Amino acid sequence: MVAGALAALVMFTGAVGVGGSGGVPAASAMMPAEDPAAEPLTDAGIDQTEPAAALVIAPLDAVLSDDDAEYRFTVSLRNEAEAAVPAGSLRVSLDPQPLGTVAELASGARDTASASVRIAQLSVAETPGGGEQNLTVTVRRDELPLAATDASGVYLVRAELRLTQTEPLDAWADPLLVSESAPFVWQGFGEIGQVPVTLLVPLVLPESVRVMPSRAQIEQVVPRFARLIDAAEAYDGVLAVDPRIVAGIRSLGDDAPASAAAFLEQLESTTAQLIALQFADADPAAQSALGFTQLLAPVGFTFATNEGTFSVSSGDDASEAENETDDDAGSGDTDTAAEDDPASEATDSAENADAGPDDAGDPSGEPSLAELLALPRSAATAWPAAGAVDSATLELLAASGITSVVLDSGNVIDATASRVRIGDFTALIADGALTSATRAALDETSITHQASGVASLTARLALTAQQGSDGIVLAVDRGAIAEAADPARLVDTLAALDWVGTVSESAQPEGTGALRAGETAEERRELLRGTVSRSAQIDALAPLLAQPAHLTEYQRVRLLEAFATRYAEPDVDFAEIDEATRVRDAELLRGVEIVPTENTQLVGTSSRVPITLHNLLPFDAEVSVRVTPLSAGISVPERSYDAQQVPAGSNQVVLVTVDSRVSSGESGMRIEVWDRAGEQAFAERTLRLTLRSSYETIMLVALGATATLLLGFGIWRSVRRRAHSARE
């Protein structure tokens, strides 16, 4: 039953495939593997110091049984270099001795090597640069060197890609290109007992949501969130909730989908333990690394509630927001940064924003900031990026009123339990290897990586149970669970393993441990400093808007999302993510701009010159335009045009009356865009003017002469006709 449940996690296509085409069936022969030491492939022109290919192997069923007629293994060969990986042979072997410890599994080999047994071999075509091949290896029951009487336990299967240079094809002396191993559980684990496992299940939005979720995005994610709540309740799990989900639903008011309203009710009434993450799951460790003295927090959501409808005032519910994410879902009420740090500019501008009305119930029915973020019964708990926490991070959390934290096991030393005291903090220690395995298990872009993650999770939990453990915390990876179509399926599968007993966080024993100081990657720190600095510059454009608070609120959410913990994962290209942020920042920093024109000609003594304004901000602007002539050749009767409405992402044309004082020449005028209060100029452009007022006189004379000639010609023709008629 367990094997079937694990197999259901992996979508299996059936036939053997190599790069989308038919493959070579697995060989049925079985022989001991000589497995000579691999030498650098100088003859083949391949540098083994930097493998040209990444090889992954995994059983499609993480638990194999003697009753099965055949066993299937999936293999992924990915070429991460530009040069092609030459054709070769894929050789799969099995170590017939079971692993005894998790350490052996982590190393991928046993302390005492035993004679591996080949179970399959097939030819592999050349893999072009940047290409990938996916294969399925099928092994019949009589080819697997394990019997029903063999000890149940965790075994390793190994795949090797070798460069074929010798004949016959099954020779094992060929140079080794790349190899990888994977575990599987044989015959279950018998009566080994269960390891107490606490499941930490995040509820976070996918990466495609860069600010607040739209109605369509909420409708898309709510069904899988609801299933995760059911799973957490069934297995005594802990739900780590991003308050952006709650605020996003509530900001829609009466326009929220029925499924979203039902989900919100389910979340508020769940029996599962709740912890409130920082808004947008922002990483406290990264904020600490930038010198923040308080955690970032939203400053309001009127820009979002402005799009919803609210039929009932929520002012009476303000009392429900007690502890409302006491620290705004793990964040402080104020936002200040260390002196001389770019973060101070962003936080200061947000503090001065016009967000005051959002702090209390609105008579119109719009909920306050506290009401939008309220999550009853939730505990403010920080969950920083894995391995990035240091003492400064804990000091920042303490300054924000947080004394509960989730730490990666690599960030702690000498831990005697999965729940420890570190100074004034209660720390829940999540097993880092299990979290990494969940990332692969939820990877829906690759069947092989998905199966590899499931196999690693299954084997690690089995060995932990075999070794005997007081308890372990399994935290599902946040970035992966946000993108998975059905993450609850993985939770159900793991909880169904015979050697797993799910328990609540409070059931985990408490021990001692010490912090192993980590740090945020330098590249990420530098890129985030730039993001914070640009955010402050964008905030400074708020006076251009009809509702200035909308921009500072919107930009604060964008800034929090840029700090998202998922971007700290080692396999994430944060530079690429930052580039997308830079592009959007550059667009917003243009604000309300004057559309340039090459030259404008004035052909009369008085003209109306069009000035086009373009609003690149996401909200309607209200600005004033000031015009200053640059020479005495022109005069501008009206120099100020106030209350000019420029819709978001649209243009507005202002017609400026210009009088010419000379018949011809060159002149110009300076156009400035000021805020509606007239306190600051935000854009400026010089418009060149070519004066040709004499053209007007010339054109009038020419028009008059033409009219006179036409009239004379008409009279002459009439006279001739009459004279001709008289003669006849």
How far apart are alpha carbons 278 and 381 in whole angstroms? 8
**φ, ψ for residue 413, nearest 5 deg:** -125, 150
Query: Is residue 673 over pLDDT 80?
Result: yes
Q: With bands split at pLDDT 50, 70 and 90, how would you rate the model's confidence at 214?
A: very high
Percent of the chain with pLDDT over 90: 59
Helix axes of 447-467 and 432-441: crossing angle, nearest 10 degrees: 150
Query: According to the model, what pLDDT value does residue 327 have?
Result: 41
Residue, of 88 and 355, whose pLDDT is higher:
88
How far apart are alpha carbons 462 and 188 in whole angstroms? 9
Residue 618 CB: number of other CB atoms within 10 A? 17
Query: Is residue 61 over pLDDT 80?
Result: yes
Query: According to the model, what pLDDT value does residue 691 have?
Result: 74
Q: With bands split at pLDDT 50, 70 and 90, how would you rate the model's confidence at 4?
A: low
CB–CB of 356/549 below 8 Å?
Answer: no
Query: Is residue 71 over pLDDT 50?
Result: yes
Mean per-residue pLDDT, 632-652: 92
Q: With bands split at pLDDT 50, 70 and 90, how would you rate the model's confidence at 662?
A: confident
Mean per-residue pLDDT, 428-437: 96
Mean per-residue pLDDT, 481-486: 93
Mean per-residue pLDDT, 391-413: 96
Which segment, 98-112, 266-280, 305-319, is predicted with the most confidence on average? 266-280
Query: Is residue 19 over pLDDT 70?
Result: no
Query: According to the model, what pLDDT value does residue 245 have?
Result: 97
Strand-pairing partners, residue 182, are: 157
Looking at 35-44, 245-254, 365-374, 458-467, which range is the least confident one?
35-44
Query: According to the model, what pLDDT value does residue 708 have?
Result: 75
Q: With bands split at pLDDT 50, 70 and 90, how would you rate the model's confidence at 600?
A: confident
Query: According to the model, what pLDDT value does residue 508 have?
Result: 94
The letter for the amino acid at 289 is A
Query: According to the model, what pLDDT value does residue 524 have?
Result: 95
Query: Is residue 237 over pLDDT 90?
Result: yes
Residues 251, 257, 263, CA angle at the centre, nearest 5°?
A: 85
Helix axes of 258-269 and 215-234: crossing angle, nearest 10 degrees: 30
Closest to 555 (Cα-Cα) out of 365, 298, 184, 281: 298
Query: According to the model, what pLDDT value does residue 250 have?
Result: 96
Query: Is residue 488 over pLDDT 90?
Result: yes
Query: According to the model, what pLDDT value does residue 445 have?
Result: 86
Per-residue pLDDT tens digits for 515-538? 999 999 999 999 999 999 999 999
Looking at 201-205, 351-355, 359-363, 511-515, which range is the least confident one?
351-355
Q: Which residue stretches of 145-209 are H helix?
A: none
Closest to 47 (Cα-Cα) out of 87, 90, 85: 85
DSSP at 352: T
Residue 511 CA: distances (Å) to CA of 348, 425, 426, 428: 41, 12, 10, 10
Percent of the chain with pLDDT over 70: 80
Query: Is residue 418 over pLDDT 60?
Result: yes
How far apart are alpha carbons 670 and 687 in whole angstroms? 6
Residue-level length of the chain: 728
Query: According to the model, what pLDDT value does residue 643 have?
Result: 92
Q: With bands split at pLDDT 50, 70 and 90, how would you rate the model's confidence at 385?
A: very high
Query: According to the model, what pLDDT value does residue 148 have?
Result: 75
Query: Is residue 299 over pLDDT 80?
Result: yes
Which segment, 23-32, 132-141, 554-563, 687-696, is predicted with the most confidence on average? 554-563
- Mean pLDDT (the chain, rounded): 83
Residue, of 397 and 146, whose pLDDT is higher:
397
Query: According to the model, what pLDDT value does residue 34 have?
Result: 43
